A = this chain, B = another copy of it.
Amino acid sequence: MQTKILLDEEQMPKRWYNVQADLPTPLDPPLHPATHKPVGPDDLKAIFPMELIKQEVTTDRYIDIPGEVQDVLRLFRPTPLYRAFRLEKFLKTPAKIYYKWEGVSPAGSHKTNTSVPQAYYNMKAGMERIATETGAGQWGSALAFATMLYDLECTIYMVRSSYTQKPYRKSMMQVWGAECIASPSTKTKSGQMVLEKDPETPGALGIAISEAVEDAATHANTNYALGSVLNHVCLHQTIIGQECREQFAMVEDYPDVVIGCVGGGSNFAGIAFPFAGDKMTGKHKDTDIIGAEPASCPTLTKGEFTYDFGDVAGLTPLLKMFTLGHDFVPPSIHAGGLRYHGDSPIVSRLVHDGVMRAVAYHQSEVFDAAQTFSRTEGIIVAPETSHAVKCAIDEARKCKKTGEEKTILFNCSGHGNFDMSAYDAYYAGQLVDYEYPDELIREAIGRIPKIQ
């Protein structure tokens, strides 16, 4: 009974897998926010280094991971693949449940997989500072970790509701030398505008993005970095799924079901894209690939597949994606990292085309699942991750009914050590299951600019 399937450092993937190479049809291009014309590399140069812009658009199947990036990733990678024997036994399921444990990185989640290369390419491009936003704080702390290792400054706009709920993520960023500011802030025009309308706003990822983009665009030594959504971010995360494939080969297995939680889509992309590639190229045609999102921010399950802005202020290019409308402000659920109106264009396309599918859950049921997981496997997961746990448990329970011995894999994307106030609220019976009225979602979607 092997609990952990481990890879040696030499077995860490040396290349990222680019699923764009295997899409049946190419992605719709991002459009300029003002002209609605396709944006070119020049439009993005103000906030991104050229290497990341290239990675955003290339259709090369593999992209080499620079040696200096591999050196840092080896501080915590390859990560273990666990067989969840205790959870299986508790559920009395014939299914085999595996989870990829990304919480072993110093920042405690998968986000470091992309913060490290992003900081590296910005350092190589001569940048001195990076501005970014963060929801629950996983991305902000991961970028603080990476910028520190490459001697860059870092400014992080943290969604206020999370800033208040999770003060110690901010402390973590401080240990690693970064500056963390509650968003919306008075430091940017975007933030000032939102505060004028609603001084008590809990904030949202879309607002914090506006602030960080504005900060980067108005300072010559500063670039912007995004922790999810964009193609190059999803690309960097594919190291997760590639490792999983090697680990499954070691135990001569292959997943029937692949699961990740979805906010902007990067951890889901990370575990899913290598398996989606196998599916689209016909190697494994029947893999069921599922994104689990919050019912209070149901982008993939209730959003529209259309062009929309990535941020509230309309500063970013328009992306073709599932969206609830760029001014949709989701309620302050504890899974702060999943509170985003849009989704990765590639994930959106693959869900739209039926290669992947999505489910939505309420927060009390995902915390039930997280408790089951913590009391069997021991790990206390982040509220975001609990959506993937819930989905895996649901799939395993279906197998109990049908008797199917499916192999289920989910991405255990991060630990909950900085989210204990959410667990406190759960045990105090204070979690609210927001039913976002469909008509309000339709109204927000109605405010999306119509692109011809």
Complex Cα–Cα for A415 and B9 (A)? 23
* CB pair A176 B374 closer than 8 Å: yes
Complex Cα–Cα for A167 and B421 (A)? 9
Complex Cα–Cα for A136 and B172 (A)? 19
* CB pair B71 A1 closer than 8 Å: yes
CB 8 Å contact bits of A143-186 with B (1 = contact, 0 = none): 00100110000000000000000011001101111000000000
Which B residues lie within 8 Å of A424 (CB)? 171, 174
Which B residues lie within 8 Å of A145 (CB)? 378
Which B residues lie within 8 Å of A417 (CB)? 108, 168, 415, 417-418
* CB pair B1 A177 closer than 8 Å: no
A224 at interface, CB cutoff 8 A: no
Say yes or no: A374-B175 contact (C-beta < 8 A), given A104-B104, A417-B108, A421-B168: yes
A3 at interface, CB cutoff 8 A: yes
* CB pair B375 A74 closer than 8 Å: no
Tell me the minimal C-beta distance from A370 to chain B in angstroms. 8
Tell me the minimal C-beta distance from A422 to chain B in angstroms. 9
Which B residues lie within 8 Å of A3 (CB)? 9, 71, 74-75
The chain B residue with its CB closest to the CB of A10 is B2
A400 at interface, CB cutoff 8 A: no
A388 at interface, CB cutoff 8 A: no
Most interface-central of A71, A86, A415, A420 (chain B CB within 10 A): A420
Other-chain residue from B86, B168, B423 in contact with A171 (beta carbon distance below 8 A): B423
The chain B residue with its CB closest to the CB of A71 is B1
Complex Cα–Cα for A211 and B104 (A)? 36
Complex Cα–Cα for A421 and B418 (A)? 12
* CB pair B9 A378 closer than 8 Å: no
A91 at interface, CB cutoff 8 A: no
A231 at interface, CB cutoff 8 A: no
A93 at interface, CB cutoff 8 A: no
Complex Cα–Cα for A304 and B415 (A)? 43
Other-chain residue from B1, B104, B108, B378 in contact with A149 (beta carbon distance below 8 A): B378
* CB pair B421 A175 closer than 8 Å: no
Other-chain residue from B8, B171, B378, B423 in contact with A75 (beta carbon distance below 8 A): B378
Which B residues lie within 8 Å of A371 (CB)? 175
A302 at interface, CB cutoff 8 A: no
**CB within 8 Å of B: which A207-226 residues:** none
A4 at interface, CB cutoff 8 A: yes
Tell me the minimal C-beta distance from A69 to chain B in angstroms. 13
**CB within 8 Å of B: which A71-90 residues:** 71, 74-76, 86
Which B residues lie within 8 Å of A415 (CB)? 417
**CB within 8 Å of B: which A47-86 residues:** 71, 74-76, 86
* CB pair B9 A8 closer than 8 Å: no
A46 at interface, CB cutoff 8 A: no
A246 at interface, CB cutoff 8 A: no
A199 at interface, CB cutoff 8 A: no
Tell me the minimal C-beta distance from A305 to chain B in angstroms. 38
CB 8 Å contact bits of A1-28 with B (1 = contact, 0 = none): 1111010110000000000000000000
Tell me the minimal C-beta distance from A329 to chain B in angstroms. 28
Most interface-central of A3, A76, A171 (chain B CB within 10 A): A171
* CB pair A174 B423 closer than 8 Å: yes
**CB within 8 Å of B: which A350-371 residues:** 371
The chain B residue with its CB closest to the CB of A415 is B417
Complex Cα–Cα for A86 and B362 (A)? 43
A40 at interface, CB cutoff 8 A: no
The chain B residue with its CB closest to the CB of A146 is B378
Please list 12 pairs of residues, one from A and one from B, whose beta carbons are closer than 8 Å in the complex, sorted by A's number.
Answer: A1-B71, A6-B8, A75-B377, A76-B378, A106-B374, A106-B378, A106-B379, A106-B380, A171-B421, A171-B424, A174-B423, A415-B417
Q: A75-B377, A106-B374, A145-B378 are in contact. List 16 more A-B contacts (CB 8 A).
A: A3-B71, A4-B9, A4-B74, A86-B149, A104-B104, A106-B378, A108-B417, A149-B378, A168-B421, A171-B420, A172-B420, A175-B371, A175-B374, A175-B380, A177-B375, A417-B417
Leading 4 A-B pairs by shortest Cβ distance: A168-B420, A106-B378, A417-B417, A171-B420
